[in-house]
């Protein structure tokens, strides 16, 4: 455990009541997203709650812009750290604890052993003991010791394989059920916090997919919510121009467009390993074809083919797939066949889990992602 010591500013420490209020407030934001900030306006009417809100503003966790409250970067960091602590508290013993590649390299932690110096190696990695031993072996004992370039030895270090990850987050209407979406958000924020603390060379992006797909900036992730169901027909066959998609029902599942967005993001990232995490609770019900988006329920074969084709294209580009199928309240599992197909065709991994176990699955998969560059069968 690391400790950071700073000069005390003379202010009183937060009371237990204040700490509990802030912790509950963070949970409230994760559960209700942007609606939670709207609720803060009602809390201003209560003198006691107003005092707590003013305290959060003084501490730099909230700011008020006009009539609206806004989370500060410090609050976003607190949400991420809280999510990470919750994730690791629930990880089972013996889970993934590393993030290193097996081959040796530079910029990693020092390990036992040395090797001959090669042009371009950092001078700071020279092993003086091994270098002197080589010089004495070549010239014999005595002084002065004449060191030649071929005597140089450098210490071995672990290779730190950078990893670029895109989390594809299902924002369709069904993700409201059983607290699935709030659990998924916690996982994404935990990955952000982990990267900040341990893997600064890694990158992570979050893409939400619904009838469309969009990149979710880090500061907006805690406030994100699934799309509300606005159609209840048992059979839907809609075709909408992509340019007009915002005017269509938003609660469908367009994994196809989500994958296309993820592929473009990863093309701009420089990680040695590239991977996509898909968090979803149902089979895709929308896809892009030409300039049109097709919204189809029940799920249609055309959507399945388009989605799997895009996934196979990404897999051929070396992108690793991990699919997390949420099954909290499903009794009939007809759509599991789609996840099986996706996993097989991309040579990826599939997890069938509940919202409570999602965090352990994602974190262990992420931690193992840099141990190997090969696909998992």
DSSP codes, 300-361: -HHHHHHHHHHHHHHHHTTEEEEEEEE-TT-S--TTHHHHHHHHHHHT-EEEEE-HHHHHHH
Burial of 141 (0-12, 13-18, 19+ CB in 10 A): exposed
Between CA 369 and CA 350 the distance in angstroms is 14
Distance of CA 350 to the CA centre of its chain: 17
Between CA 230 and CA 69 the distance in angstroms is 28
Domain limits for position 66:
16-71
DSSP codes, 138-180: HH-SSSSPPP-GGG-EEEEEE----EEEEEEEE-SGGGGGGGH
Between CA 71 and CA 224 the distance in angstroms is 13
Cα angle 276, 189, 307 (rounded to 5 degrees) comes to 25
The strand pairing partners of 166, in sequence order, are 205, 276
Number of domains within the chain: 3
- 7 domain residue, yes or no: no
Give pLDDT tens digits along the chain (377 positions). Answer: 455 566 655 555 455 444 556 667 777 777 877 777 777 777 777 777 777 777 777 777 778 777 777 888 888 888 888 877 776 665 543 333 333 333 334 444 555 677 787 766 666 778 888 888 888 888 888 778 888 888 888 876 655 568 899 999 999 999 988 888 998 898 888 888 888 788 888 899 999 999 999 999 998 999 899 999 999 999 999 999 999 999 999 999 999 999 999 999 999 997 788 999 999 988 999 999 999 999 999 999 999 999 999 999 999 999 999 998 888 766 545 657 888 899 999 999 888 888 777 877 887 777 765 443 333 33
At 114 the pLDDT is: 79
Token pair of 39, please? 């609720």
- 90 domain residue, yes or no: no
188 and 141: one domain?
no
DSSP codes, 265-308: HHHT---SEEEEEEEESS---EEEETTEEEEEES--HHHHHHHH
Burial of 21 (0-12, 13-18, 19+ CB in 10 A): middle
At 330 the pLDDT is: 61
308 and 195: one domain?
yes
231 and 130: one domain?
no
188 and 215: one domain?
yes
302 and 265: one domain?
yes
- Which residue from 130, 135, 180, 174 is spatially nearest to 156, judged by alpha carbons? 130
User: What DSSP character marks residue 62?
Assistant: E
- 97 domain residue, yes or no: no
State which of 53, 71, 89 marks the end of a domain: 71
Between CA 6 and CA 25 the distance in angstroms is 26
Token pair of 130, please? 């091994």
123 and 44: one domain?
no
Token pair of 215, please? 């990149």
Sorted by sequence, the CB contacts under 8 Å of residue 15 that are 6+ apart come out as none
**pTM to 2 decimals?**
0.72
At 237 the pLDDT is: 96
At 258 the pLDDT is: 98
Between CA 60 and CA 40 the distance in angstroms is 16
- 264 domain residue, yes or no: yes
Between CA 282 and CA 270 the distance in angstroms is 31
262 and 237: one domain?
yes
135 and 235: one domain?
no
151 and 169: one domain?
no
The label of the residue with tokens 């209407």 reads 173
Between CA 131 and CA 278 the distance in angstroms is 50
279 and 145: one domain?
no
- Which residue from 165, 80, 89, 91 is spatially nearest to 369, judged by alpha carbons? 165
147 and 236: one domain?
no
Sorted by sequence, the CB contacts under 8 Å of residue 283 that are 6+ apart come out as 253, 299, 304, 334, 335, 338
- 376 domain residue, yes or no: no
At 282 the pLDDT is: 85
State which of 120, 140, 158 marks the end of a domain: 158
- Specify whether the CB–CB gap between 88 and 200 falls below 8 A: no
196 and 272: one domain?
yes
The strand pairing partners of 164, in sequence order, are 203, 274
Token pair of 354, please? 């509940």
């Amino acid at each position: 455990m690391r400790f950071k010591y700073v000069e005390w500013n003379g202010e009183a420490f937060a009371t237990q009541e204040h700490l509990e209020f802030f912790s509950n407030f963070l949970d409230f934001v994760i559960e209700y997203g942007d609606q939670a900030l709207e609720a803060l306006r009602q809390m201003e009417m209560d003198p006691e709650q107003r005092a707590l809100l003013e305290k959060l503003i003084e501490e730099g966790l909230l700011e008020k812009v006009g009539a609206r409250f806004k989370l500060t970067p410090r609050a976003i960091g607190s949400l991420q750290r809280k999510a990470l602590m919750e994730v690791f508290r629930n990880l089972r013993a013996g889970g993934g604890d590393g993030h290193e590649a097996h081959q040796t390299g530079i910029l990693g932690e020092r390990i036992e052993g040395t090797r001959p110096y090669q042009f371009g190696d950092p001078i700071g990695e020279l092993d003086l003991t091994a270098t002197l031993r080589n010089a004495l072996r070549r010239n014999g004992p005595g002084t002065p010791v004449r060191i030649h370039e071929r005597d140089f030895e450098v210490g071995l270090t672990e290779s730190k394989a950078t990893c670029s990850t895109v989390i594809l987050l299902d924002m369709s209407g069904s993700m409201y059920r059983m607290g699935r979406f709030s659990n998924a958000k916690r996982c994404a924020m935990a990955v952000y916090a982990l990267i900040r603390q341990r893997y600064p060379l890694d990158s992570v992006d979050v893409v939400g997919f619904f009838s469309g797909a969009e990149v979710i900036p880090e500061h907006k992730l805690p406030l994100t919510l699934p799309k509300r169901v606005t159609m209840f027909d048992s059979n839907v066959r809609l075709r909408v121009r992509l340019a007009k998609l915002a005017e269509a029902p938003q609660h469908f599942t367009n994994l196809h467009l989500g994958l296309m967005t993820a592929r473009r993001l990863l093309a701009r990232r420089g990680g040695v390993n590239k991977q996509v995490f898909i968090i979803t609770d149902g089979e895709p019900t929308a896809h892009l074809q030409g300039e049109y988006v097709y919204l189809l329920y029940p799920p249609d074969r055309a959507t399945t083919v388009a989605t799997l084709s895009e996934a196979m294209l990404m897999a051929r580009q070396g992108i690793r797939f991990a699919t997390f199928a949420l099954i909290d309240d499903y009794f009939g599992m007809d759509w599991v066949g789609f996840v099986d197909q996706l996993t097989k065709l991309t040579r990826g991994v599939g997890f069938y889990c509940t919202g409570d176990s999602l965090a352990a699955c994602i974190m262990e998969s992420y931690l193992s992602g840099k141990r190997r560059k090969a696909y998992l069968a």
